[in-house]
Structure 1
Amino acid sequence: MLSRRWLALLLLLAALFAGLRAVHLLQEPPQASSLVTDQVVVVGVTGRPALTPTDRAVLGPRLADAQVGAVSVRPRHVGDCAAAGWTTLGAGRRAAVGALCDPRVSDGRVEDWDARLTAAAARRGDARPGTLAGSVAGCVAAVGPGAALAAARPDGTLADYRTVEEFLADDLTTRCPTTLVDAGPRSDAVIARLAADPGRTLLVTGVGPAAGSADPALQVVYRLGTTFPGWLTSASTRRDGIVTLTDLTRTLVDHDAPPGAAVPVTVDGSPLAVDPAELSLPLVEDHLAAVAALSDGAVVGYLVLGGFGTLLCLVGLVGTLRRRFAVPRLILTLGSVLGAAMMLTGSVPWAGSGAPGLVLGVAVIGWSLLLAAATLALAARLDVPAAVVGAALTVAAFTVDAALGGPMQAGSMLNSRPVFGLRWYGFGNVTFAVYATAALVLAGWLAHRFLAAGHRRAAVVAVAVVGFGVVVCEGWPTMGTDFGGVVALTPPVLWLLLVVAGVRVTVPRLLAVGAAAVVAVAAISLLDWSRGPDRRSHLGGFVQRVLDGDAVDVVSRKAVASAETVVSGPGITTLVIGVLLWLLVLRCALPVLRPAFPTLPAVLQAALATAVLGTLLNDGGISVWLTVTGMVAVSVGWFCLDHALREGWPSPAPGRELWTWLSRGAARR
């Protein structure tokens, strides 16, 4: 009877998951919207996060054939000057310019082109300036020095270059299929005149911060002379009304590509697409403000959450010191669902509110309290530890979001802010760490209960369903899309599976576990790659880089980024504190908790492996270590307090030699 009930539950969960996936598949995809005129003029502007009076005057009468959005102007380094943005546009990949922020042109060539190539290639940079001009059938003209960086050929020469004054004197005539314009302070005048010509497509886009600024904010982008109005988007971002500079590169290449030419492998962007919509100036301004709030308002939300968390920590500490363990246990119950609450803030349209930071703070506290109440109610009803119920609710929330295609990630407090341009869709490093740790705790507890009832096969199935289910949700291209997460989580899940199955762990089997992780991520990546260049996520993009012999730079850059987070001051501090917490968990808490939770050692080993592998394999580095360690500390802390409430704490306490060593070390210092 037990097996039938669990089989029915599995079938019900599978049906619910399939239903959520069907809902995702029923969503209308963005529509392609190619450039319809023979000539395209791109005017690059700086420091324009909102519409200017000129933008309003130009867009107002043309909203029926305008497409609008916000563009991420981030080059390789956040906050780099506009020259880096222009270079990124010409390369189709994020580029760096070092300190070369004032380009000059003489005799039809960018003066310091060789130095710029060196700057772009520094520290394994893979941007190739000149890609745009080298990938089109016709010519690319440049007006102004910044535009010259994007329009230059691979050798730095320009097919057609004019100063802004010459362009205005020529009555804004264009001689090439694509013309890039850097008009500086005269940009508004140029935009107004070009907008009056229906025979050319006009694209206005931000390219970087204003001179003397390092503001990485997303900026205005709009297109006039289109087939239907709506919000610009792309497969690179999967977000309505947000695109990147490299998407514009790809669109310009497609507009004037030689017949039968393949997509340049060095262009990372995707063609601009459109979510059809009726536009108005207030709607556009609200959208741009909401995009800015995703970065600016999030800081206020973190501060509100930090203040709330500090207060709870102080209350919990006082309760623990007074040996009133019920209150700190309640606080740790809330801590067990905090990750889910932070993710679920993406279900609230806080960025579009009048006070986005405050609304975000209220949303995360509200979700935390609601989930904590649900956890306590379910724990009492099912007679299951609240820490396990919290883990189950966390897994459920993340799985629902993954099944729906990750719609909550845009506004999630676990996601990176748009100004950093790190991850536009799918699950990021912190999201992975929360999801993976909760899954291991849940899988380990289910295995314990089944083993205690004498059902080893059911225990193995439970670990496999939870563990590999999370791996699939984490890595599938239309769900979590997390390359590093699959590699980091698959070995710990297999380890836990071997332990639960009672299989002796040997070196060959450990090697097989590692190989299985590689096979898993390779299979998912190959499936993604087979969907074609315009539908691939970064998983399939990495396969293409491997085929092109271009993968080493990506891997090395991510490895360097991860290492830099670890060896920094905060990283070393976090690492040391984490090691101490793991010592306390393994030496002091585990001996007490093991009799009531026999699979806990395997769960902790799997979680520690996830923390280490996730730190090494993700560019977020130390953030994975911090998140996994923090979640383990919360879960184990809850079990310790629960044990102390029910049975008291053993005396002398296990691990006292560790306490002695730590206290002696502190005394010596």
Structure 2
Amino acid sequence: MTRRWIVSTALAVVAFLVASLAVSVALARPAHRGIGQPGPLVIVSMPSLTWADVSPEATPALWSLAQRGAVGNVATRAISAHSCSLHAWLTVSAGARATIGAGPGQTGPDGKVEPCNRMPAPTVVGEGARFQGWKKWRTISLKRPIPADIGLLATRLRERGSCVTGVGKGGAVGAADYNGFVARYYSSVAKADFTQCPVTMVSLSDKKDSALADLLPRLPAHTTVVVTGHADDTEPESMRAAVVAGPRTPKGLLRSPSTRQPGLLQNADLTAMALSRVDRDTSYILDGRKPGVQPQDDADRNIEHVRDVSQALYAEHRVVAPFFIRFVLAVVVASLAGLAMLASSRWRSWGRRWFVGVGAVTAAMPVSTFLVGMVPWWNSSRPGTALSLSIVGIAAVLATVAVCGPWRRWVAGPAILLAALTAVVIALDLTHGSPLQFVSIMGLQPVYGGRYYGMGNVGYALYASTSLLVAALLAGRWILRGERRLATLTVVVIGLATIIIDGYPAWGADAGGPLALLPAFAYLALNAAGLAVTWKRILVVGGATFLLVGGLGLLDYLRPPAYRTHLGDFVASLIEDGRLTSLQRNIRANWTMLTGNWINFFVPVLLLLTIYVLIARTSTLGRPVAEVTRRVRYLGHGLAAIAICWLIGFVSNDSGTAIPPSGMIVIAPLVIMIAASTGRLTPNDVPESAVTDQDVDDAPLATPVRAG
């Protein structure tokens, strides 16, 4: 038995490594190069500019810059869902998301955009200018749960013997120091002198290319020019265009350690770019990192890439609500049809097959929303329709493979296949930069302030839930063979791989995830070994969890500041300044999500209901689940471990409100598949009589925690 376990485990590891190597080859990228600034730096905002606006005919001046420089998109979200030029310039000034006032909300389905905050005008003082209310704005910004140190950029440059020129009201906001003073100020490009300071901030009133064409000839020799869409302003939320061109700017895709995505920056990265002129280490900036370039000589291909990403992100977000509403309605209708079949003795067997099929398609849908990223649906004339049909088509193919393959002979076989596929796809995506999550409707949602890389909360819910289910069901096979030691090893191996991929800073970079995963897998491992869950063991698991997460954070902290994730930044802020900024951000984000919509209050209810169903096995709600868990060894403990993971993940993650319902999307149909299946209750190599040898550990959460 041990030899079989070793061989099967080795084959699974080799298969994963081969798949990982294949993905690595497909995504191979040249080494990044830095952006040199031998002369002045000029940052120009053309509000709401996207790559859909850029072409040789419509924007010849910008197109010329893009042909000889590096291109990308800018994630412009500040504090509010809709970004405004005022907030964008404050963010550049602070190197962190900043705002004055509440800011507009997200654009609704009707496409109506709320008005932005008015851009304040400075008072001219000699060659410079001053914002009268700046000290008050700065005090308010520093008192926010996530403080924004507005004026940081200009003050730091001034302390290093440099200065910043502001052109236009927005440019002046970006160029103001801690006191709200702008060293050099010009109200318009026509009046500006671009030789006064090494760094100049220019705010154009619109995205007309003629204004840029008038500006470019007036710049000094060897100037590095940054042109950015900067903010949403009067248009719906989207990624905004960015171009960097200069004598030492390679052609290619802009890239920043803060986003880890080819062709993507944040507004705060421009702060790091400007400050890198005087500071080699700019890690004191909260959100921004110095950008570089992923070299690529084909300028047209570079523009096509960033335009495709912008179009995909714009389209996929608008598909989320209608797709899920229609999908849920379709599942409800299909379920009612299945119930009608089950009510008829003539069609009962077909009803069970129907539910297996419906469950398989529903369970395959989440992973299909990631795999669809390999299909260029955004190039369709109707991208939303193409995306929806592609997701359904992929789900149908995966469901067919699950219910028709040889594994169908075991009642849990199809469910294990779909759960394992979901976990493996997400794991491969994480270890290769999260390109599938990045554009998925169940992914990172970067336009709206989600993550840009690593593990998103929806992806985490799917990944954690399916990994735990696979571990439980595979462990159950070994328990049926009387091999509890191998069952425990199965849980430990899958658990370690799941936790490392989720928490490792270069992959999942998830702090809250391991906090929930380790106790859940520990619960599975203890029960697989036949050990009681005692308070002493709970304390040991809690200490191990703390050490694991702390260790991952410390390892990340020891990396160069430019390459740290939020894990390392949290440890750095705790060690160096005694601040808990990242923790405050997580708590604030979770509370905002929970209270932002009345429907989110049902999430705690869902959690409590799940726990009740697993505990009250003889209740009206608990009996159907208890019947399923009696059929498949160790499934009950798998569901209990998943509930533990959801509960801790709900509390410990930012936007943890999304975790329980997202996990339920994949776990519920998998359980329904198992319940409806007519396959063997054991794998082919285990006698059916083994299922009669049930013991008390098949009653998850029903056994009280022991004192010793």
What's the TM-score once normalised by structure 2's chain length? 0.84
Q: Please give the per-residue CA displacement for 1:274-321, whole angstroms capped at 9, x wherever unaligned.
A: 122234568626632541331323423653454244223312222124
Matches within 5 A, 1:596-611: 596-611=631-646
- Inter-CA distance 548–104: structure 2 relative to 1 (3 Å threshold): farther
**1-side partners of 2:494 and 2:487: how far apart?**
11
Q: By how many angstroms is 1:431 displaced?
A: 0.5
Is the 8 Å Cα contact of residues 250 and 271 (structure 1) preserved in structure 2?
yes
* Matching of residue 288 in structure 1 with residue 307 in structure 2: yes
Q: Which amino acid aligns with 2:577?
A: G
Q: By how many angstroms is 1:341 displaced?
A: 1.5
* Matching of residue 120 in structure 1 with residue 151 in structure 2: no
* Matching of residue 573 in structure 1 with residue 602 in structure 2: yes
* Matching of residue 153 in structure 1 with residue 172 in structure 2: no
Q: By how many angstroms is 1:254 displaced?
A: 0.4
- Inter-CA distance 237–483: structure 2 relative to 1 (3 Å threshold): same
Q: Which amino acid aligns with 2:590?
A: S
Partner of 1:656: none
Matches within 5 A, 1:161-560: 161-164=185-188, 167-170=189-192, 172-185=193-206, 188-196=209-217, 197=219, 198-210=221-233, 213=234, 215-227=236-248, 228-257=250-279, 262-280=281-299, 284=303, 287-300=306-319, 303-304=322-323, 306-323=325-342, 324-378=351-405, 380=407, 383-385=410-412, 386-549=414-577, 551-560=579-588
Q: By how many angstroms is 1:52 displaced?
A: 4.9
Q: Which blocks of at least 5 consecutive residues in structure 2 are unaligned?
A: 103-116, 343-350, 616-621, 682-708
- Inter-CA distance 346–484: structure 2 relative to 1 (3 Å threshold): farther
What's the TM-score once normalised by structure 1's chain length? 0.88
Q: SS of the residue aligned with 2:229?
A: strand
- Inter-CA distance 378–631: structure 2 relative to 1 (3 Å threshold): same
- Inter-CA distance 25–396: structure 2 relative to 1 (3 Å threshold): closer
Q: By how many angstroms is 1:10 displaced?
A: 1.7
* Matching of residue 43 in structure 1 with residue 78 in structure 2: no
Q: Please give the per-residue CA displacement for 1:324-383, whole angstroms capped at 9, x wherever unaligned.
A: 232122211222222222221222232344432222112211211111112113354663
Q: By how many angstroms is 1:179 displaced?
A: 0.6
Q: SS of the residue aligned with 2:50?
A: coil
Q: Which amino acid aligns with 1:628?
A: G
**2-side partners of 1:523 and 1:20: how far apart?**
29
Higher mean displacement: 293-302 or 501-510: 293-302
Q: Which amino acid aligns with 1:440?
A: L
Q: By how many angstroms is 1:84 displaced?
A: 0.5
**1-side partners of 2:194 and 2:592: how far apart?**
49
Partner of 1:96: 99
Partner of 1:660: none
* Matching of residue 133 in structure 1 with residue 154 in structure 2: yes
Q: SS of the residue aligned with 1:46?
A: coil
Q: Which amino acid aligns with 2:255?
A: T
Is the 8 Å Cα contact of residues 163 and 197 (structure 2) preserved in structure 1?
yes
Q: Which blocks of at least 5 consecutive residues in structure 1 are unaligned?
A: 647-669
Cα RMSD (Å) of the superposition? 2.7
Q: SS of the residue aligned with 2:241?
A: strand
Q: By how many angstroms is 1:38 displaced?
A: 2.0
Q: By how many angstroms is 1:464 displaced?
A: 0.8
Q: By how many angstroms is 1:6 displaced?
A: 2.3
Is the 8 Å Cα contact of residues 475 and 491 (structure 2) preserved in structure 1?
yes
Is the 8 Å Cα contact of residues 132 and 151 (structure 1) preserved in structure 2?
yes
**2-side partners of 1:417 and 1:602: how far apart?**
33
Partner of 1:658: none
Q: SS of the residue aligned with 1:70?
A: strand
**2-side partners of 1:234 and 1:572: how far apart?**
37
**1-side partners of 2:408 and 2:640: how far apart?**
30
Q: Which amino acid aligns with 1:179?
A: T
Is the 8 Å Cα contact of residues 56 and 281 (structure 1) preserved in structure 2?
no
**2-side partners of 1:169 and 1:217: how far apart?**
32
Q: Which amino acid aligns with 1:232?
A: L
Q: By how many angstroms is 1:410 displaced?
A: 2.0
User: Across the two proteins, how many residue pairs are aligned to each other?
Assistant: 637
Is the 8 Å Cα contact of residues 48 and 220 (structure 1) preserved in structure 2?
yes
Q: By how many angstroms is 1:470 displaced?
A: 1.0
Q: Please give the per-residue CA displacement for 1:146-184, whole angstroms capped at 9, x wherever unaligned.
A: 1122111122222222221xx5235x4321110111232
Q: By how many angstroms is 1:581 displaced?
A: 5.2
Is the 8 Å Cα contact of residues 80 and 214 (structure 1) preserved in structure 2?
no
- Inter-CA distance 30–267: structure 2 relative to 1 (3 Å threshold): farther
